[in-house]
Every structure is written in structure tokens, then in C-alpha cells.
Structure 1
């Protein structure tokens, strides 16, 4: 087996382990509308954090997060040389620039630490499992 195949198998196993651990939790909830049960939910894995839109929000602080989160209206996906992962919220909007590691090419699953995101756009063909990518999304959604 060549190194590329071995790395793919290792990363696939890491992805399964992350899904089993489901290590992201809710740190904070800010209700936008109690009637509509709309909220901004701060999610963290202890190292990384992001704010996700949730509706209807029936969550409580310290709940485990159902993953993956949805990276809504994903665009500008590009492979980057850096292995640095992060969530960079753009001003006071819900828009993010995100650097994450590709965990599942077919499903478009990216990991930032233990926080998993499903992209709403397909990954370009030159990107492989294990690559670090940067992309923009209009918001992150926490689905029920």
C-alpha cells in the first residue's frame, strides 16, 4: 500500500473516532426570539469555538452537539499549505472564514479540532482527504 492510501485510512479512522467522541458542546446560548425559538449558540471543543444559528433551539448549556454542523452557503473553497485550523468570524455578522481539515471528501465533511462541518457546496476535485482548506460560509447552522 502506498503512503497516500495509508494516510487516507488513518484519517478515515480518526474521522470515525471524532464522530464517536462527539466532543463539541454548547458553551453559551443567546436567544434572538423566544417565540420563534431562534438562537445563536456558541459551540466549543475546548480549543476551538464558533457561533451557530439554531432554530428551533431546544438546547441547554453543556449539551453535546449533534454533528456535523452545516456550513451554509459555502464558497471560495481552496486548498492551503498551512495546517493551521481556525474559525474567523467576519465582523459582527454570522459569516465565517474557516480553515479546516478534510475528513470525508464525498460528504464534504471538514474538521476544525473536534468540531465537524458539512459544506453546502461540493469540494473541488484537486482536494483530498487530509488536506487543509480555507472557505467562506454565510453562517453555521446547528441542526436538530
Structure 2
């Protein structure tokens, strides 16, 4: 799958604290052109905690030979994109690496349709309650 065909894309960036990622979603702009809009960034701590989720998402979409490298955009299909988007929104601001790893594993094993439903709830106005609820369900917080 090419980036132009993908519903989501992820790009790995290098920061002083380590590798991080930025997640994008394909949306329409004001001129009805399809563009990649930034959904969320994944901090270096959250990136290292979710390495298996992110590598699995890139491999599932790009084939077994696909590697998660810094620089280029990596395409993600709808299911894996929704899972990674949920993780990015859940992990935002959290610092406990063990809990982030548990959340990533729980989202990796979740259903893509369910993740898309949660992503829709979290991105609508007033979605903070949904984010808190999903954090509890995937065991990111106590």
C-alpha cells in the first residue's frame, strides 16, 4: 500500500530524548483536496513502550519486509491506523512506561472496528471523557 492510498500514516522523527512518532490521518481540506492532517504525536517514552504495536502496524500494512525507519511516511490501513491513533491519544501526557506498554499490548490485540469507534469518540468535541474511559480500559492508568 502506498501513502497516497492509506487512511493513516506514521512518521518517525528523531528528538533529543530519542525517537518519537507523529501520526497523520487523511482528511479533506477546505478545497476538497485530500491531505494528511496531524492526529497526535507520540513521545519518545510512549514510542519505546509501544515499539511492538508500531512495528506490527507498519508490517501488517507494508508487508513483512517493511521496517519502521525515521524519515519517510509509513502507510497504515484503517484498522491499524485506528489502533495506533487510540494509543497516541491515550498515551498523551502519561509517564509510566510499564502502563504505556500494557496499554499498547491491549490495543495491539484489540479489534480494529472497536478501536475506530473509540477513536471517533475521542476526537469529537467533548472527547476527554472517552479518552479517560479508554485509558482505564486499556490499563494505562489505575
Q: TM-score of the superposition, structure 1-length normalised?
A: 0.29
Q: Give the structure with higher Rg (CA).
A: 1
Structure with the largest fraction of helix: 2
